[in-house]
Amino acid sequence: MTKDPVCGMTVAGTKAAATATHEGKTYVFCSDTCKAKFLQDPRRYTEGGQ
Binding site for Zn ion (CB under 5 A): 4, 6-7, 9, 30, 34
In this complex, which beta carbon is closest to Zn ion, that of residue 30 or of residue 48?
30
In this complex, which beta carbon is closest to Zn ion, that of residue 9 or of residue 24?
9
Residue 11 · residue 23 · CB < 8 Å: no
Q: In whole angstroms, what is the distance from residue 17 CA to residue 11 CA?
A: 9
In this complex, which beta carbon is closest to Zn ion, that of residue 9 or of residue 36?
9
Least distance CB 9 / Zn ion (angstroms): 5
Furthest CA-CA distance within the chain = 27
